Amino acid sequence: MKLSELEMYLQSPRRAAVAVLGDGNISRIIPVALPLLKSEWDVVVTVTEPVGLVDRFVLRALRDFGPCTVRELDELLCLGKDRTVAALDEMIRVGSPIIKDHLRYSVPVGTEIESFQTEHKHRFAFLLNGLTGDLLPSSFLDRSKRVTLSEDNLAEMPWILQLRPILTGSESPVLRGLNPSKALKATEAVGIPTGFKEFCSKYPRHESTLYVLGFLFIDMSGNGLILAATEAADEITFPREYLFGIDWLKNSLVPVSDAALRSLATDGIRFNRAAANRNILSVSVSGDKQSLKANEEGKLDFAHWVSRRLLKSRWFWYCGGGPARFSHFELAPADDRMEHRLLVEKAINAMSSFVDDILDWTAFVNWIVRFLTDYGASSAVCGDSSLVDDVLEAAGRSGEGNLRVFANRISSDRENRKPEKELSHSRRLAEQTFLDSSANGFGDHVADMVRKAKRLVFIVSPVIQEDRVFEALREAVTKGVELRVVTQLGNHRTGRFDTSPEFSDYDIPRRRLADLGACVRDWNVTVHAKMILVDDERFLFTTANLNENSLGTGNRNAIEAAILFENGPEVAAGRRIFDAIWQGCPTRQEKRDDRISIARIASKARVPTAGDCSIRAGAAEFLLSTPWNRLLVRRMTTLLNMAKSKIVFLAMSIYDLEKVPILFDAFMRTLARKVNVTVLVRTGAEQFKSEDWPDPSTKELQKNGLKIVEIPHLHAKGLFVDDEIGLMMSANLNPYSLGDLETSHVEMAVQAACSVPFMAKYRDFVSTLLGHK
């Protein structure tokens, strides 16, 4: 976790804290690592049997018809031999009164089979607040997944105060007080089983400590409130005495005084407590610190970093004065010029994030004047064009993602303000084009886009093999174009990158990319997303791999789809998605002399930040789904639940959806509502494990009304709900694309209303495929 990410994680907890403590009453915010205990116990569980209709039918048949073989039971019940055997084995395992004598099964005469109890001993895990021993909800870890910390990580993050657990599972008053009646009230806790009876031992069998990020909010009266950095901002109880035991912290738990404030003059920053509101400080930054120049090692020192954060927003973080010391204050700028600059930066940031129709310099100027006027700025500020020039230049040079694209676009338009150019520019910016492989030249279009690059080509594709693409890349890099590629460098399922039998599948493309001088990276899992970004002006989102079959020169050309966005806000969204994928790659390819090797980037995290998972741009929303956030599964579940009359999916394959239970259940619920659910997939002969297709889970869905339409060579993917909402995606309907396994994929999608032209054309394309059947 980077220090700069704390600002994002703080947003939800801070809103919750303001609601409790009041906006002007927060004197200090301290990031903390909250200790969670995962305490595993042997537990006696009482279960009322039978638990399902199949079990009940089998028991009744054995009672009424005496000893039976599996074949005889199947003839009586017509459940299928596999289901019958599974039910018998499970009931015997849990202690049901079934007697097996060679190949025959029976129940003792007079045995109660409609309702009986069995007792079992199982190992269960309980999630506890390490400060109080309270049970935490089972959903807590899922909500905290992105901010789960480890001891090793914490050692590298001295700005986070690590709170140590003070209770064990055996000392937990809540856990020790559980009994069958109370257990029913605690079923949300991890591992609380139905039919809980008693702990089998005095001490837990195993116990481990986890840490999640939280924030300690201290008000002016010295009261404390701890909130976990989750979307729901869960409040964490803690004993006040525990915090008083931390020497430097106990001084913060008394009413704030002027004497408690430390001077930062040595860092070029000074505080002035002249402001009437105790939560507002006046700040000045010495001129040499505003230059933000890197030191000899190329890194910003602390003072430069503070200045940058100050100029970027109205937050101020001070991590000095001892280990894990952290203070937070709202800021009021010390001089008019700085205040004006902050207002202009605020306006431009707002425009780049939320305004989609600012296409030219004139509209930009009008909008910024309205923004500053509404904000209460003076006429002098509104008329200070030099401030706007400075901020635009800085944003275009060193801004991130959408902000940089926006600033460069506006600056470029300012240089080309002739009426005829302005009109052409606006039309070009609005262009969004749907492409499909049925059109002539689909592969040529992809290659031409790369060939015409002037500044950069960024590619994400699990497969890069097509000769036209490599030739286009060679022409681009000859012109000095920067080339970054995220592709599969080896077999993620085996973790082997250079010794597996199929290494040659990766070796040749890797060497061709290395010869081009490309920067190549990879994740620990397969990045199945597919996109090309050119010059921060064109963004192609596609279902196509960069190989012969996908680009139209193979033996079995695939049916593909793509959307090309040019110069609009969608391009900035594409850049943010690429940056999130790129920065999360822990593996890179290096070439020294003629030797190509794979290296690990120790500082890289494998999961993008939450802000880079769902991005709205123009009329579209872009999704970046990983095995850890499972964003695409959640979105598909939502769309299934929304469907009123019909929903159409298309994918290369569908299988083993029972291993994605959330989605499988959503399919079943939608079918139960009599919604027409159709899935377009490749023919059975082209399916993975074709000899077993349809697999049992797909057959179960078909049994409940799912309609399968086979389309030869289909590789396009997406879904449409009631012809109103469309989604193009890179994912197939299987656990590799949608699961949370170590072998699951990173996927991407774009969603828009079917009234949006590019999505309307995609819907028509799918309707044409259906019409051929």
- For the segment 626-673, what is each residue's pLDDT rounded down to a tens digit? 888 888 998 999 899 889 999 999 999 999 999 999 899 999 999 999
CA distance 529 to 646: 27
pLDDT of the residue at 125: 87
pLDDT of the residue at 377: 59
pLDDT of the residue at 358: 52
Q: What values do phi and psi take at 693, rounded to 5?
A: -100, 140
Q: Which domains does the chain have, with CATH numbers?
A: 3-41+120-253 (no CATH), 51-113 (1.10.10.10), 258-334 (no CATH), 347-428 (no CATH), 431-600 (3.30.870.10), 630-730+751-771 (3.30.870.10)
Six-digit token string for 207: 């116990």
pLDDT of the residue at 143: 77
Given CA atoms 223, 229, 234, 238 in this order, what sign does their dihedral have? negative
CB atoms within 10 A of CB 159: 17
pLDDT of the residue at 627: 87
**Residues of the chain under the 50 pLDDT cut:** 256-334, 418-430, 493-505, 603-612
Strand order in the sheet with 456-460: 432-436, 561-566, 538-542, 531-534, 456-460, 482-486, 519-522, 587-592, 595-600
Identify the three-state secondary structure at position 362: helix
pLDDT of the residue at 491: 60
pLDDT of the residue at 414: 67
CA distance 697 to 268: 65
- What would the pLDDT profile of 412-459 be if each residue is shown by its tens digit? 766 665 443 333 333 344 478 899 887 667 888 899 999 999 999 999
- What would the pLDDT profile of 61-117 be if each residue is shown by its tens digit? 888 888 899 988 888 888 888 888 888 988 888 788 888 888 889 988 878 888 888
